[in-house]
Structure 1
């Protein structure tokens, strides 16, 4: 039995911006992206809506191999008890090492720490690997927006998933 190293999860810092931007670009895929493939000049990874404290970073050794973005689904006070996963990326070389699962688990712990009662996410209907991961971590389908996106000439469902914390 081969033991995989356990990823170290931490909050992102301002120094991670370039690394996270590169990771976001190299992991871009029509399997999960609804925006076109990024092209130079690249937008900053952090913006007025999401900064370092909204991102948890996974490291294997001293290399950043993944991140998860945790935010509010809306700015409404009546919705402040919900957190939403608004981005998740894992480097190809780290897939299968439990990085995505570790990020999901820590994000849920952080959402609880922030006082959230629920956590939600949106995933494209054809992204079977991500959907299986989310389901294995207790997320359930709470809604489907049929044919919400036209991607590469095919209509794709937007699947809304969530769970109580």
Structure 2
């Protein structure tokens, strides 16, 4: 398995992975055109980075890091989004390896913190995150659809 930064040419494969992610998430829906536009925005506006895992030439996993600034920390922070491993490759440690790479990338970008959200009942993902040192926050997520 190889982990590398994704490019715009990877968008079709990443969109297929996002469909697998969004079919299991309660708040989101599969819309390939929206997912393509979202990924394209990350690349075109330099608002983050997408890491992917390859098995041979096949994209088998992805995670995106979106960058922002924190007044509390006085510097750059990362939001870890869209972590997904292809169904056929789950349970092999690929998610853990990709998560480690994302954490290293956030450190490289001098982020003071990595934040993520997960469905409250996604216990397998929560276990992986906790193994990498993530802790539950006392902050509560709220959303206002616009």
TM-score computed with the length of structure 1 as normaliser: 0.72
1:33 CA drift (Å)? 4.4
Distance change (3 Å), C-alpha of 1:130 and 1:83: same
CA-CA distance at 1:144 after TM superposition: 5.5
Q: Does 1:60 align with 2:52?
A: no
The answer to whether structure 1 residue 51 and structure 2 residue 43 are counterparts is yes
Provide the aligned length of Structure 1 versus Structure 2.
136
Instruction: After TM superposition, give the deviation of residue 58 of structure 1 in Å.
Output: 0.4
1:134 aligns to what?
A: 129
Residue in 1 aligned with 2:15? Answer: 21
Which protein is richer in strand relative to its size?
A: 1
Unmatched segments (≥5 aa) in structure 1: 1-6, 150-165
Which residues of structure 2 form unaligned runs of 5+? none
**Is this contact kept in 1: 2:61–2:85, CA < 8 A?**
yes
Report the structure number with the largest CA radius of gyration.
1
Q: Report runs of 4+ in structure 1 exceeding 6 Å deviation.
A: none
CA distance in 2, matches of 1:87, 1:80: 23
Using the size of structure 2 for normalisation, the TM-score is 0.81
